[in-house]
Chains A and B, each alone.
Chain A
Amino acid sequence: MHQPSRRRFLAGAGGGAAALALAACSNAPSSSAPAGSQSGGMKNFGVGTQFKAAEPLTFTIAMLSNPAYPYNANWPFFKYLKQITNVSFNPTVIPFADYNTKIAALVNGGQAPMIIPKVYPGEEDQYVAGGAILPVSDYVHLMPNFQDKVAKWNLAGDLDQRRQSNGKYYLLPSLLQSVWQDYSLATRADILDKLSIPTPGTWTGVQSMMLAMKHAYPHSYPLSDRFNQPTPGGNFLNILSAAYGTAAGWGYQVPSNGAYWDASSSAFVFAGSMPQYKAMVTFVNEMYNQGLIDPESFTQADTIALQKLTSGKSFVISDNAQGVVTDQAALPAGQTMVKLPLPAGPLGKTLAQNASGRINSGGGVMISSKALSSPNFTAMLQFIDWLYYSDAGQLFAKWGVQGVTYTGSVADGTFKLEPDVTWAGLNPAGTKKLNATYGFSNGVFSTYTGSTQLLDSQFPPAELDFQKGMASWGLSPLAPPAPLTTTQQQSATLTGNALMSTVQSQTLQFILGKRPLSQWDQYVSELNSQGASKFVSTYNQAYSTYKQQHG
């Protein structure tokens, strides 16, 4: 809570410096591709066209180095990319742990590389005022694959949420054909078998599952959860609140999440005081009183939670597809972890389509404003369009080269990694790592993005079942764009931070029974005296202003 505001402050200060630096340059950005920027690009670049630069090109790029597959200049990925597109990179290598800090320094210090990948929606906001980042929405006409996918997958509404108050967006987000749910709860399959508990599909099912576990093991707490950073009960409260139609946990980790779009009243309401929020808190409190939830569940460190699970003191834990694989390795022989289907709540099988449901998961690409003065500007956009948004580019970045790293084809479902190539639970015995050895499936170029078919090709059978189960879920309505002006943003962040910490602490008080639920109305009036209604009306005002100005 403290951190972002300080960073924002720094970014603002630096942004000013960057703006000055920009003003000093003679070439102010104009809104169409400048003359002479055609060098190296293709004349007839369209959907399905293989991009190949007319001359060898080198682009500067921010290269995140992931400790699981540290950046290696000799990755075959770069070699093949050069062969296919005639493009190579001049990277600024940045360690994963502090990627955003360095990006902030690079952008605000005027040293940003042209291509800045791995930027998550919302993170671009802080750079807008500085002018160092390109308003890319002005140039997407040069990116046919991007436009094609936005139209085909009906993503214009999602994209609108990224627009700033000037109506432009600054981030090329990763695009998903359908909302992709990775996180759920996981439990011990052997315990389910032993106690013959059916796999639950709803939250009440989860409750009765845990009651049965508590009955069989009275000294355990069935749920002892992890992922309590940066918000307590990060995943648990997130998926639970989504099932109730409100926001909590990871779903409410920045102040703006507090303004929740209520489709029934067509207005933003304050998440922490919604009746749905009260219903959710009541439900968790009930499970807590039944002894199903460890009192430390929402505050303990991840390692402690895992230790309780592996030593048999708890059975249920928040998890995702890859987490299940690692947890399994920590369990004694004979015990197996299984990811539960996402439990449905009062909303039924409806996935909360929050701020950026289908353009959220992989992180997107920002482009430095100074790229505009490069003679290769058009070529660069075409290249980005091909690598990040064309079917061929996404396939290449994810799985590599047919006959080298994989066989078969994703399109007809015969896709298989080569037997000695391993990646995230596929071919666990393989000796060559798809990412560390080859440089494919690298988060910088290949994110969790693309068609459902491409995504499904990456899942081991168990996860594929989970994802097939998700296919029957519907989506809740999308929030409309409500971009705040800089002044609105400042006051909203101040009030919003205070509100967020009140909601977080009081939620735990209610859940753990330290504050009786009979005091709920008092809690709501406390929120209002902290400015909850003014906070929400800022967003409603921004929403109506945007609607007037940009339709």
Chain B
Amino acid sequence: MVSEPAVTESSPARVARQLDRSKAAPRGPAGDQVPGRRRGTRRWPPPTRAYQAFRVINAIILSLVAVAVLFPFLNVLAQSFSSERYINAGQVSLWPRGLNVTTYEHVMSDPLFWNNYRNTVFYTVTATVVAMAVTTCYAYVLSKPHLRGRKVLIGIAVFTMFFNGGIIPNYVLVSFLHMRDTVWAIALPNAINVFNLLVMKSFFENMPPELEEAAAVDGMDTYRILWRIVLPLSKAVIATMTLFYAVMFWNSWFAAFLYMDNQGLFSVTVYLRNIVDSVTSVSNGQLAAGTQVQIAANIQAVTVVLVAIPILFIYPFIQRYFVSGVTLGAVKG
């Protein structure tokens, strides 16, 4: 609710401001500009008419995209505060109808929901820490051109992007390692995401080698160079990757579903999926006749909102690293 909308929504306003500024700049005193922007403003080429039109159209299109992205979310939010009758009748769009908060009370009073919620937080934190540690180390090693067998090591990682054992062999492996019903079943098999690994690798590759050479000359060993020099300079990519992993683990349900045999160990996404997906399963009708499930539409909406909120709130804090982190890694000289 806060993250993406906040950017996209403000973009028309920002564009308008910039248009305004570019017009005003030649005449007005520079003093009323934001100090940091001064140089940029002066360098700004005098906008052509076509360019202005382009910016306006851009703003309109982006606003439409913002609306398209925002609408489903606001719709679910409105549903979560509406009464079931209006939802089923399809009369809830952006504003709650038949306002009720009892659904929130109902869902929040379910101990299983909170238990699973705690699990999700625990799994996400643990798995993200593990994943970051493993990915960073592997990426750092792979970023060193003098590493012997580097291509093979990269090949091994990339191979897993295209091929994997499949559900059942994975399940057998995890069972064999006695990792079922533990957090390791969630954290370890997904600890290296190859895409993230490659982004991090090229980020490290772009770092000036002189820095590390200087540190080595001063007597630092590899581990201290990584810890003291490289990592502090890599906040952008670390923040971005942490966000990627955290979102991935927060949203994932399959590992928890497959490897946990006790519902006290499920993550909240399994809980959510169960109530949302069961409703559609009813359509498989005949076969499911014995297990009719009807979960009220507003209970679904409330659960969706409660599950989505925390991870949404992480975005604004990491956002400033986000853009630079991804692009820095992506562009390689």
Across the interface, do A307 and B89 meet the contact criterion of CB distance under 8 Å?
A: yes
Binding site for B on A (CB under 8 A): 10-11, 13-14, 17, 64-68, 70-71, 92-93, 95-98, 101-102, 104-105, 108-111, 118, 120, 174, 182-183, 226-230, 234-235, 238, 250, 302-304, 306-307, 310-311, 320, 322, 326, 329-330, 332, 360-363, 424, 443, 447-448
Across the interface, do B266 and A95 meet the contact criterion of CB distance under 8 Å?
A: yes
Tell me, yes or no, whether B108 is within 8 Å of chain A by CB: no
Across the interface, do A109 and B175 meet the contact criterion of CB distance under 8 Å?
A: yes
Across the interface, do A310 and B89 meet the contact criterion of CB distance under 8 Å?
A: yes
Checking B263, B275, B293 against A93 with a beta-carbon cut-off of 8 angstroms, the contacting residue is B263
Binding site for A on B (CB under 8 A): 84-85, 88-90, 112, 166-169, 171-172, 175, 180, 257-258, 261-263, 266, 270-271, 273-278, 280-281, 283-287, 289-295
Contacts of A226 in B (CB 8 A): 283
Contacts of B263 in A (CB 8 A): 65, 70-71, 93, 95
Across the interface, do B88 and A95 meet the contact criterion of CB distance under 8 Å?
A: no
In the assembly, what is the distance between CA of A11 and CA of B166, in Å? 10
Checking A17, A70, A182, A311 against B169 with a beta-carbon cut-off of 8 angstroms, the contacting residue is A17
Contacts of B257 in A (CB 8 A): 95, 98, 101-102
Contacts of A230 in B (CB 8 A): 283-284
In the assembly, what is the distance between CA of A304 and CA of B295, in Å? 17
Contacts of B273 in A (CB 8 A): 95, 97-98
A183-B285, A183-B286 in contact; A326/B274 too (CB < 8 A)? no
Checking B90, B270, B283, B294 against A234 with a beta-carbon cut-off of 8 angstroms, the contacting residue is B283
A17-B172, A70-B263, A228-B283 in contact; A65/B274 too (CB < 8 A)? yes
Residue with the greatest number of chain A CB neighbours at <10 A, chosen from B169, B257, B284, B290: B290
Contacts of A67 in B (CB 8 A): 274-275, 278, 293, 295
Contacts of B291 in A (CB 8 A): 64, 66, 96, 118, 363, 443
Q: Closest Cβ of chain B: how far from A85's Cβ, in Å?
A: 22
Residue with the greatest number of chain B CB neighbours at <10 A, chosen from A109, A362, A447: A109
A-B contact count (CB 8 A): 147
Checking A14, A111, A120, A326 against B294 with a beta-carbon cut-off of 8 angstroms, the contacting residue is A326
Contacts of B286 in A (CB 8 A): 183, 235, 238, 250, 360
Residue with the greatest number of chain A CB neighbours at <10 A, chosen from B274, B275, B277: B274
In the assembly, what is the distance between CA of A183 and CA of B85, in Å? 23
Across the interface, do B274 and A95 meet the contact criterion of CB distance under 8 Å?
A: yes
A-B contact pairs, 22 of them (CB 8 A): A10-B166, A10-B167, A67-B274, A68-B292, A70-B263, A93-B261, A93-B262, A101-B167, A101-B257, A104-B168, A109-B172, A109-B175, A110-B172, A226-B283, A229-B280, A230-B284, A250-B286, A303-B88, A303-B90, A330-B84, A360-B286, A360-B287
In the assembly, what is the distance between CA of A11 and CA of B168, in Å? 8
Closest 6 interchain pairs by CB? A14-B168, A307-B90, A330-B88, A97-B277, A443-B291, A95-B274
Contacts of A235 in B (CB 8 A): 285-286
Across the interface, do A320 and B266 meet the contact criterion of CB distance under 8 Å?
A: no
Contacts of B283 in A (CB 8 A): 226-230, 234, 302
Q: Report the nearest A residue to B168, measured CB to CB.
A: A14
Contacts of B289 in A (CB 8 A): 182-183, 320, 361-362, 448
Across the interface, do A68 and B293 meet the contact criterion of CB distance under 8 Å?
A: yes
Across the interface, do B88 and A97 meet the contact criterion of CB distance under 8 Å?
A: no
Across the interface, do A13 and B85 meet the contact criterion of CB distance under 8 Å?
A: no
In the assembly, what is the distance between CA of A109 and CA of B295, in Å? 32
Contacts of A326 in B (CB 8 A): 294
**Interface contacts beyond A93-B262, A320-B289: sample of 16 additional A-B pairs, CB < 8 Å, sorted by A:** A14-B168, A67-B274, A67-B293, A95-B257, A96-B291, A101-B257, A110-B172, A120-B287, A183-B289, A229-B284, A235-B286, A302-B280, A361-B289, A362-B290, A443-B291, A447-B290
Across the interface, do A361 and B175 meet the contact criterion of CB distance under 8 Å?
A: no
